[in-house]
Every structure is written in C-alpha cells, then in structure tokens.
Chains A and B, each alone.
Chain A
C-alpha cells in the first residue's frame, strides 16, 4: 500500500479502504494548497455528474424521444430545463447530508428512524432498482439491435462492462470509467445537429413555452408527469449520498461538490433536449411514434431524416444510457444493502472484506440481464411496473430526504435553511404529488378521460 499518508479528518488504520481514500484526499489537498482549482474540480467531480447522467437512462431517453416525436420543438424544451433545476435542488441536499454525516442515506434512515423504516427504504430501493436494471438492459438490447448485434451478445457485454468496472476495487477507477462512458450521453447532441433544428424555434420555445400542439390533453399530462417522475428517482438520492461518502468529500469541498451536481444537471439537460431535437423530425413528418417500444424503433424511423450516421449515434446513445445507468443503479443497491446490514460497503474495499457489497453489485446486473434474455419474458409489464413503483415510492424517499436534511442533530449547520426548505419543500411536495398522480393514472387510465 506504500507509505502511510497523513490526511486531516481521515483516520488511517492500515486498511485498504482508508488508505486509498486518504491517497485521493491527499491529491485534493495538494491541489488546494497549490491553488489549482480546475485540477481540484477534476479530482472532486463524479457523484453529481454520474447521478444526473445516470438518470438519463434508457427509459428516460425514450421518454424524451417520444416527447420530441409527439410535440416537436416547443413547450417541453423549457420544461426539461425546469425539471433538471428541480433535480439539482433535491440532489444538493444529499451532498450536504453525505458531507455532514459521512453516512449513506439508507443507514441514516435506519439509525434515525428505526429498523422498520430502514428495511422499508432498503426494500423500496432494491425492488425498484432490480426492475429498473431490467429496463436498462432492454435499452442496451434495443440499441444493439439497430446494429444487428444479437441480444445475447449485447446483454452479456453489458454485464461484463458493469462487473469489470467494480472489479478494480478502487472507487476512483470505477468513477472515471463511468464518467468516460457517461460522456457518450452527449452523442445525442450531434444526432440533434444532424436533424438541422430551427434554432429560432428553440429560442422562441424557451421564451414563450410554446407551441403546444393539441393543447392540454390526457396524453400531454401523462408525458408531463412521466418526465417529472423520471427527474428524481429514489436510487439517485441513495447513490449520490453514498458516493459522496465513499469518495471522502469533506465540508471544504462543498462548493466543488455543488458545482459537480450543477454541471451534471446542465450536461444531462443538454443531452435530454438534444434527444427531443433529434426526434423532432418525426413530429414534422407526422410519423406516429407513440407505439415505438425501444431505441431501435426510433433510430430506424429517424434514419430518413437524420441519416444513417445520426440514427447510429441515436442507437449508440441508447446503449450508453442503459450501460451507465446499470453501473450507477447496481452500485446504489450495493451501497444501501451494506449500509443497512452494517457490512463493509466501499468500492475501495477488497472483495475479501466486502463480499456482500460486490456480490449484490454483480448479482443485480446478472439477474436483470438474465430476465431480459428469457424468451417471452413480460418485459412490457416490467416496464410499466418500474414506472409505477418508481413514482409511487418516490414520495417516501423524498419525505425522508427532507426530514434528514432538517435533522440538525446530525447535519448541524449544513441543515436546510428557511430558503432551501421553502424551495426544496415545494419541489419535493410537488414531485411527490405528481408522482403519486402519475402512478394513479397509470393504474387507472380512465381517470383523465380521453
């Protein structure tokens, strides 16, 4: 492990996890002393960017593509910007929680609210994550299908990438691998440019929130709720807080950690809007896209309008979206289980000392991939269940987030102030209500009429 490092605030016990984290911290401290802000940000960036680009997952990108194909350039462009602002407000709370408590979200719920809510939060996350992981592999399979890659090969390759990324037993390596892959979320940008969008229409949409073809209909409300419901999901809250702790981010790093989250929200919003722009030609040419089931359908339908290169970028983007989300979601499950069971849970730990952590991370993706390959598997039912579970179970996750962010006994001076409570509380209540409403209309489609 080399020489022992002295890093203020990090107890060194000769343990691999401590040593590796201390080594990362020493680099950050050196960057601070040498006044190299860009290098310091490069070292500290990760959890915020990954959580936001991980949220731009397979189902989310499909949702944005559907939005562009049905509504074109208009209302949804500024609306997406607002949803990512909301995501930033919510995720910033997890940064403060992680820094102040050096504890993951699941263990804080367990310790502060008791085993009942601790196990409930864990079960909530585990069920939602396994089902969401299945949809990520559906996205990987669909994107690969555009290139004629067999499902077995595509899904197996996805599993290998995810499992290999945690096999280094090094947080920094895992994070950099995930960040590198996540950069490919921006493949939707050149795809959008190949669609030759009218930029004056984009600017007008941002300023006027119009046009809104067809007006306010049941479909429109469903898409609004789906987009809001997909903006903040339970796994994001658990993942970012645990990653902040595993990375060893301290109070001195709070501005950089906030900036990391803001950069992630901005890049993710750009990719999301690019997806809307890339699929907008389907709206212009009156292509009926509501029944499209996967990325391959969109890529094939877009080929006449954005060319073979654009369609390929779109399909590659779908593969990336599924892959990065599979990495972050499986890790969030592993963190949370380790936190609740009080076993070692760090990407810096060796396999020998953190077996449950690594087994959960690998097993969750293997199970999800296997389900996708089962002939006649009820994938549509699973996708529907994922949407409903994610939205219905978001309310408890957000409620606990607000309660913990106001828990001055553990968060101290980093607790929510009046302004963040008004802003955060409004967003949390709004998202929770919309999520619950979305769940209800998905179960009872007749609620909104035709």
Chain B
C-alpha cells in the first residue's frame, strides 16, 4: 500500500557486525564515487 497510509517500521538496532558492514560500505562508496567521476571525465577528454 502507499506509504502515507502505512505505519513506518522502527529504526533497526544495529548489531556490531552490521554497524561494521555499514562503515565498510561508507568507505566503499567514498572509493566508488571518484572512480565513476574519473571514468566519465577521462572518456570525455579522450574525445568521446
């Protein structure tokens, strides 16, 4: 059903392993974003 008529689930209590996974994910994202930007810009500079 559409969200406005549904009671939201409560925030999940993060166990240490899950919290660690999410920190690992933050680092992964920090690495991934420059990779994407680099790939896009370098292709543009290579003359498409």
Name A's B-contacting residues (CB within 8 A). Answer: 11, 13, 17-18, 21, 101-103, 107-108, 111-114, 117, 120, 245, 338-339, 342-346, 349, 354, 376, 378-381, 384-385, 388-389, 392-393, 395-396, 399, 403, 407, 409-410, 436, 439-440, 442-443
* Chain B contact residue count (CB 8 A cutoff): 27
**Cβ B12 vs Cβ A345 within 8 A:** no
**Cβ B44 vs Cβ A443 within 8 A:** no
Q: Other than A346-B2, A409-B9, give 13 A-B pairs with Cβ distance below 8 A.
A: A21-B1, A102-B6, A103-B3, A112-B9, A113-B11, A120-B29, A339-B3, A385-B40, A392-B32, A395-B28, A440-B35, A443-B35, A443-B38
**Interface residue SS majority, chain A:** helix
In the complex, the number of residue pairs spanning A and B with C-beta atoms less than 8 Å apart equals: 94
Docked Cα-Cα span, A233 to B17, in Å, equals: 25
**Cβ A13 vs Cβ B2 within 8 A:** no
**Cβ A378 vs Cβ B12 within 8 A:** no
User: Which residues of B have CB within 8 Å of A112?
Assistant: 9, 11-12
User: Which residues of A have CB within 8 Å of B35?
Assistant: 388, 392, 439-440, 443
Docked Cα-Cα span, A101 to B28, in Å, equals: 28
**Cβ A111 vs Cβ B8 within 8 A:** yes
**Interface residue SS majority, chain B:** helix
With contact pairs A112-B9, A439-B32, A443-B38 given, residues A117 and B22 touching in the complex (Cβ less than 8 Å): yes
- For residue B47, give the distance in angstroms from its CB to the closest CB of chain A: 10
User: Which residues of B have CB within 8 Å of A11?
Assistant: 1
From A112, A245, A376, A407, name the one whose CB has the most chain B CB atoms within 10 angstroms. Answer: A112
Docked Cα-Cα span, A293 to B25, in Å, equals: 34
- For residue A18, give the distance in angstroms from its CB to the closest CB of chain B: 7
**Cβ A17 vs Cβ B43 within 8 A:** no
Docked Cα-Cα span, A218 to B7, in Å, equals: 51
In the complex, residue of chain B having the shortest beta-carbon distance to the beta carbon of A409: B12
Docked Cα-Cα span, A55 to B12, in Å, equals: 31
In the complex, residue of chain B having the shortest beta-carbon distance to the beta carbon of A404: B12
User: Which residues of B have CB within 8 Å of A108?
Assistant: 9
With contact pairs A18-B1, A343-B3 given, residues A111 and B40 touching in the complex (Cβ less than 8 Å): no
Could you give, for residues 1-21 of chain B, a 1 whenever the CB lies within 8 Å of some chain A CB and a 0 otherwise?
A: 111111011111000001001
- For residue A283, give the distance in angstroms from its CB to the closest CB of chain B: 28
- For residue A273, give the distance in angstroms from its CB to the closest CB of chain B: 30
With contact pairs A389-B36, A409-B12 given, residues A378 and B43 touching in the complex (Cβ less than 8 Å): yes
Name B's A-contacting residues (CB within 8 A). Answer: 1-6, 8-12, 18, 21-22, 25, 28-29, 32, 35-36, 38-40, 42-44, 48
Docked Cα-Cα span, A107 to B42, in Å, equals: 35
With contact pairs A112-B11, A385-B43, A410-B9 given, residues A392 and B2 touching in the complex (Cβ less than 8 Å): no
Docked Cα-Cα span, A409 to B18, in Å, equals: 15
A-B contact pairs, 17 of them (CB 8 A): A11-B1, A103-B9, A107-B3, A108-B9, A111-B9, A111-B11, A112-B12, A113-B22, A245-B1, A380-B43, A381-B44, A384-B43, A395-B25, A395-B28, A399-B25, A436-B28, A440-B35
With contact pairs A338-B3, A396-B28, A410-B9 given, residues A380 and B39 touching in the complex (Cβ less than 8 Å): no
- For residue B9, give the distance in angstroms from its CB to the closest CB of chain A: 4
**Cβ B29 vs Cβ A396 within 8 A:** yes
User: Which residues of B have CB within 8 Å of A396?
Assistant: 25, 28-29
In the complex, residue of chain B having the shortest beta-carbon distance to the beta carbon of A382: B40
Docked Cα-Cα span, A404 to B13, in Å, equals: 13
**Cβ B9 vs Cβ A384 within 8 A:** no
**Cβ A385 vs Cβ B8 within 8 A:** no
**Cβ B11 vs Cβ A345 within 8 A:** no
Docked Cα-Cα span, A240 to B13, in Å, equals: 26
